[in-house]
Structure 1
């Protein structure tokens, strides 16, 4: 396989390739199944029972919509928020709850 030197490619072409690569990775991430994402089985089952099967579908829901799901409480919500945060999937309405560690004196 022939290697391509990026310095020899037009900067706009490189930017377009990188942008396309990022979009493809984001599409793959958002289309990935919740069951393959590392979330707890209980959370995945709760969401899939309510027809939320992918990371993208979860990211499109509001906190209010999620809290209306039966057996979906604050602990499950915190897990979803933390999980999307780890995956770097932003949601303007969701806030990640982070515990402050006490400093040892």
Structure 2
């Protein structure tokens, strides 16, 4: 099993599996794919048209991590369910949030 994030200079990359057209914008835990890669499961109400679901994901991540929306961007997977989201912030300041996301959600 791999980590669902990777620290970078000046930030971190989250590996996300996005489900659009959900009933609420939320994280729903960590999923492991058949190849052993881990993803943060996220759901958004937006539809996957004209970047609406990606924008909703960026808002969700920014709000949850307490960073400005302008510091969050989908860098890969624009038209895929599997995405990489970059957060521009000091990784150490995000550590407690990453730890909480790693625990099972109830």
For the criterion TM > 0.5, the same-fold answer is no
Instruction: Pick 1 or 2: higher relative contact order, CA cutoff 8 A, min separation 6.
Output: 2
Higher helix share: 1
Higher strand share: 2
Larger Rg: 1
Task: Please report the TM-score for the alignment, with normalisation by the length of structure 2.
Answer: 0.26
Task: Please report the TM-score for the alignment, with normalisation by the length of structure 1.
Answer: 0.26
